[in-house]
Structure formats: C-alpha cells, structure tokens
Amino acid sequence: MDEKRNDEVDKKYTDFVYWVLTGLLVIAIPYVAGPKEEFKLALYGILLLVALFVWWARGAAKRRKEAAAKSDEHQEAMISEIREGFQGLSNRVDNLQNAQSSTMRTQLIHYAEKYLERGWFTPEEHQSWHNMYEQYLAIVEKNGFIDSYKDKLDKLPEKELDTVIEEYQRSKNNSANTEN
C-alpha cells in the first residue's frame, strides 16, 4: 500500500514538473527568435529547473527508501515487543495454573480424607468433589495419587442429607435419654 501511495505521489510531482517545464518552454519560445542572450538565459533557466528536478527526485527516492527502512525497523521492534508481552503473559498464566492446581490438589486431598474418615458422603459432596477433580485434571492432565482417592471415594456409600439429619437427631436424643 505504501508503494502504491509513493507511486501516486511520484506521478503528481512528475506531472507538476512536466507542466512547469512546458510552461517555461512556451514562455522561452519568443526569446529563441530574439537575441542570443535571451535565448541563452531561457535555456539556462530550463536546464537549471531540470537539474533541480533530478536532484529532488534522487533525494525523494533516497528519503523514501530511508523511511521504508525505518518503518520496517519500527514494525520489527513492535512485533518483538508484542512477542515479549505474550511470553510474559504466558508465563503468568502458567504460574497461575500451577498455583491453582496446587490449591485444588490440597482441597481434593483434604475433602477425600474427610469423607474416607467419615465413611460416607452426601450426593452433593460427591458431585462437588468430582467436579473439582475434573477441573483439576483439565489443568494437570494426569495424577495417579488423586486418581487413587477417586477410586476409594467411588466405593463409599452415599447418604441423603435428610437421612444424615435424622441420624444426628436420633443420636442426640439417645445421648440425652442415657444421661437421664
């Protein structure tokens, strides 16, 4: 796109110089028929304008190349900076995943030990533990230690919350009756 724009700018300047030179030639024609000094002066003016145009065109091409090189360097620097930013972000995400997996591992072990010691768990606790286990596996992929807890927990009986509450109230009533 920059090359197309540069070509359009070059064409505009070339057209401008063409019309200026044409105008100068039209103005210089009457002097050609006149005395020699006027002809030399007009020819000198035209040659000077052509020389200035050539000098300008060479400088413009050089400036355009320098600008393109600077633009490429700038783009490379920006790409490098973006890559470094993504790398830093990737490192932070890895650190967060490691921290999260460590926390989840601790919680999974804690709850598994609690349920195994108690010898049962509610369906809600079972589902909650399995949801956390699935999320943990999504981060770490495979872990034999936590898998062994899963196998043990899958063998535990489930008790409905209503049943647990009734058993608690019965045990509380029984202990109150034995004290009396």
Q: Express each pLDDT in 135-148 by its tens digit.
A: 998 888 777 888 89
Q: CA-CA distance, 71 to 145, in Å (whole number)?
A: 55
**Cα 91 → chain centroid:** 14
Of the two residues 71 and 44, the one the predictor is more confident about is 71
Cα–Cα dist 106/115, whole Å: 14
End-to-end CA distance of the chain: 96
* Token representation of residue 32: 């050609």
Residue boundaries of the structural domains of the chain: 2-85, 92-179
Mean pLDDT of the chain: 78
Per mean pLDDT, which of 18-27, 60-69, 71-80 is the most reliable?
71-80
Residue that is written with structure tokens 């349920």 in the block? 115
Contact yes or no for 115/156 (Cβ under 8 A): yes
Would the pLDDT of 84 be above 70?
yes
pLDDT in tens, 106-158: 999 999 999 999 998 889 999 999 999 999 988 887 778 888 999 999 999 98
User: What DSSP letter does each residue of 126-177 carry, written as one string?
Assistant: HHHHHHHHHHHHHHHS--HHHHHHHHHHHHSPB--HHHHHHHHHHHHHHHHH
3 state DSSP class of 120:
coil
Stretch 4-31: mean pLDDT: 63
Q: Distance between CA 106 and CA 146 in Å, rounded?
A: 10
